[in-house]
């Protein structure tokens, strides 16, 4: 990936947009915040970081889910096979079956990429979402439900919070526990 603007110069998400989409509200838009670490050598000073956020139906890829917009963006930047990449996605909905399959294909083509996904909710609207998450997990992606610490990190990193501290919503820990158990059950169940 080519160097982009410094993280502090990157556009930031509106506070209400973050709260509406990363809380337990059931908004239909998917927002995806990303951090891409590029390891160019063994020295810690040889690491570059790229950050940003996308939403589904983002320009210049209208009609795409946020994950596909991200894959289009990272693929168009060109990944150097000689470098190692750690990609962390913070997403308001876990990937649907089709997006999970595209992420699996991406990981298959890019053995030098490690993928971590933190989701606020499980996208269980369409049939096949469970198998999509399992195949993504089998491909080496680490999938977790976001904790209040990850949400705080997103608030501080991707949101134009104007100096306001992150305030976790009322039932954040309860939701985390329920969704973590559900995700673990999905990932540890054999598909048909």
Alpha helices in the chain (DSSP H): 15-22, 66-77, 97-109, 129-138, 148-158, 172-187
Which residues on neighbouring strands pair with residue 55, listed in sequence order? 31
The pLDDT tens digits for 32-54 are: 999 999 988 776 667 788 899 99
| CA atoms lying within 13 Å on the CB side of residue 124 | 9
- Residue 79 has what pLDDT? 86
Mean pLDDT is lowest, of 78-82, 115-119, 140-144, 187-191, for 187-191
Q: Is the pLDDT of residue 131 over 50?
A: yes
Domains, the chain, ordered by start? 7-187 (3.40.140.10)
Mean pLDDT of 9-22: 86
- Give the span between the Cα atoms of 26 and 28, in whole angstroms: 6
Q: How confident is the model at residue 2 (pLDDT cuts 50, 70, 90)?
A: very low
Q: In the chain, pLDDT over 70 holds for what percent of residues?
A: 87
- The larger pLDDT score, comparing residue 10 to residue 124, is at 124
Q: Is the pLDDT of residue 8 over 50?
A: no
- Give the span between the Cα atoms of 18 and 150, in whole angstroms: 13
Q: How confident is the model at residue 112 (pLDDT cuts 50, 70, 90)?
A: very high
- Residue 76 has what pLDDT? 75
Residues belonging to the active site = 67
Q: What is the pTM of this model?
A: 0.88
Q: State the average pLDDT for the chain.
A: 87
Q: Which residue has tokens 């329920």?
A: 178
- The larger pLDDT score, comparing residue 4 to residue 125, is at 125
Mean pLDDT of 24-28: 71
């Amino acid at each position: 990936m080519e160097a982009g603007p410094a993280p502090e110069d990157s556009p930031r998400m509106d506070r209400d947009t973050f709260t509406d989409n990363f809380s337990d509200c059931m908004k239909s838009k998917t927002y995806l915040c990303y951090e891409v670490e590029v390891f160019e050598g063994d020295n810690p000073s040889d690491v570059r970081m790229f950050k940003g956020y996308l939403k589904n139906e983002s320009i210049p890829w209208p009609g795409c889910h946020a994950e596909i917009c991200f894959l289009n963006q990272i693929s168009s930047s060109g990944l150097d096979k000689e470098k190692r990449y750690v990609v962390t996605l913070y997403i308001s909905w876990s990937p649907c079956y089709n997006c999970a399959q595209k992420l699996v294909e991406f990981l298959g083509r890019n053995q030098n990429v490690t993928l971590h996904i933190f989701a606020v909710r499980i996208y269980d609207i369409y049939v096949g979402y469970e198998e999509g998450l399992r195949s993504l997990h089998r491909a080496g992606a680490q999938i977790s439900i976001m904790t209040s610490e990850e949400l705080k990190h997103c608030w501080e990193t991707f949101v134009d919070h104007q100096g306001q501290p992150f305030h976790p919503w009322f039932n954040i820990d309860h939701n985390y526990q329920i969704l973590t158990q559900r995700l673990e059950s999905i990932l540890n169940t054999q598909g048909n």
